[in-house]
A and B are shown apart, each in its own frame.
Chain A
Amino acid sequence: MVNENEVLHIAELADIGISSSDLGKFTEQFNAILEYFDILDTLEATAPLERQLVNIFREDEVRPSISQEEALRNSHNPEDGYIRAPKVI
């Protein structure tokens, strides 16, 4: 079981805001789903995990690509060819 504070903590980790009016219902649904997931924990994981696809590489060749202008087209007020973001520090 997770409580409302734990849901808020997870929301903080995921950078997602949850309004206080939604929190109770969200927590309730969260617990119902997690309870349903519990059957996985009854599984005995004896055989090692096999990988079907491993490291498919290609040569790092320069090929035609989109222009800088096109790459920046969906960002807000790019400056000198750079994307602007909120302040980090």
Chain B
Amino acid sequence: MNDTYNAYLNTTEIPGTGSGILSGIRVSIKDNISTKDIETTCASKILKGYIPPYDAHVVTLLKAAGASIAGKTNMDEFGMGSTTENSAFGPTLNPRDTTRVPGGSSGGSAAAIAGGLVSMALGSDTGGSIRCPAAWCGIVGLKPSYGRVSRFGLIAYANSFEQIGPMATNVRDAAKLFSVIAGHDKKDSTSVNKPYDGNVIPDICGKTIGIPKEYFGEGVDADVEAQVRLAINKLEELGAKTTEVSLPSMKYALPAYYVTCTCEASSNLDRFDGVRFGPEPEMNLPWHEAYTKVREAGFGAEVKRRILLGTFALSAGYYGKYYVKAQHAKQLIAKDFAAALQTCDLLAGPTMPNVAPKIGELTADPLQMYLADILTVPANIAGIPAISIPCGTAHGMPVGLQLMGRMFGEETILNAALAFEEAV
């Protein structure tokens, strides 16, 4: 494999075990998804050399469907970032313009597809990590409803938000990959029994599309907005009705997301101390000192920042002000979406407020990096499915149209996405 984009951390190929709808298809896997006997690092020095003793449930399903596993893709360390620059093993480049980032955190998966190295890959999406790189690299990426895909074997960062999902060059391939990974798994207690039959058909005629005004607010690039408006016009031409809707609690979405995900990260990443895996701690030191040294050397700056923010937000005296309020905000946002999706079949807006930035442009100020997620985190907070599909270019770079659906309504957004894809 000629990987000029640093899309891969490991290019080991493992053939499928069965035969099925993915026979003969090579699928790349984001490096936070466990693959038996293939190093899995989450793009972190603290997991360098870690060889999982088992496959994630989704990997077992892929192999059984005939897919061969084609390498592990680069990412922001533990999924924390929106550009894939937070990888301990160097940034991934955007195949559409190699001076720009591919988006993140599933940037390696998106770049591998956009660069023509594979046609399908798995990513994971905690606050936009599938949809952001899909939009910025000009491919298709689906974040499933919370619970529709098993998280068994996904190395946890923020459990209450994250889902594994398909990334592909087109909607039919994304639907095919999704049909293999969706369904119940006893090993994940949040998994639900909602398989997907893979029967995607172009269908938007007669549907009502809500256009949330908050998705076209301050900070959204005018050229990006223009492309998305054109895409919505196209959906109207295909027979959809549109109506403006409002999600008033969206102003709380980004802080609620970052408080919750950092709190969960501070707990989830506690296990990385070098004892069961990772760099060896100095056994003759007192344990706190030994672990502190391993974690100082092993974690990158953004991971440390999020663990510390979460530790702070959960500490005595601040828990009520941050974590509890974030859970209330989460509930309000979920209710806003449920209300809008009662009258509308789906919602449409931009995936990202801007096109892919230049390498280094967003890394200096972490808060600026967080703000890029403003249009993707709400779907994770509400738990609903959301897809990003290419809809033209702005400033010479791809723009993503985001379609969000009702809980477990992937069929509706995949069918709408296919109708759009076939019409343009």
Contact = CB atoms under 8 A, between A and B. Distances in A.
Interface string A37-75: 101110101010110110011100000001000110111
A17 B296 contact: yes
A29 B329 contact: no
A84 B311 contact: no
B299 interface: yes
Contact of A14 (B266, B287, B331): B266
A83 B274 CA distance: 11
B311 A29 contact: no
A81 interface: no
B50 A33 contact: no
Interface stretch (B1-9, B125-133, B205-213, B253-261): B253-261
Contact of A40 (B255, B277, B284, B304): B255
Main secondary structure of the interface of B (DSSP, over half): helix
B50 A74 contact: yes
Main secondary structure of the interface of A (DSSP, over half): loop
Interface in B271-320: 273-278, 280-288, 290-293, 295-296, 299, 301, 304-305, 307-309, 311-313, 315
Query: Chain A, interface size: which category?
Result: 35 or more
A7 B304 CA distance: 11
Given A29-B366, A29-B367, A41-B325, A87 B286 contact: yes
A15 B291 contact: yes
Contacts of B281: 85-86
A33 B366 contact: yes
Contacts of A75: 275-277
B327 interface: yes
Contact of B276 (A13, A56, A74): A74
A42 to B, nearest CB: 9
A12 B252 CA distance: 30
A83 B312 contact: no
A47 B305 CA distance: 32
A56 B190 contact: yes
A26 B305 contact: yes
A40 to B, nearest CB: 4
Contacts of B309: 30, 33-34
A86 B291 CA distance: 9
Interface in A1-18: 2, 7, 10-18
B291 A74 contact: no
Given A40-B255, A73-B51, A74-B51, A16 B312 contact: no
Contacts of B277: 74-75
Contact of B189 (A19, A34, A39, A56): A56
Nearest to B285: A86
B324 interface: yes
Given A26-B305, A39-B251, A87-B284, A17 B259 contact: no
A26 B273 CA distance: 22
Interchain residue pairs A-B with the least CB separation, the first 3: A17-B296, A74-B277, A86-B290
Interface of B: 49-51, 53-54, 147, 186, 189-190, 251-252, 254-256, 258-259, 266, 270, 273-278, 280-288, 290-293, 295-296, 299, 301, 304-305, 307-309, 311-313, 315, 321-322, 324-329, 331-332, 365-367, 370, 383
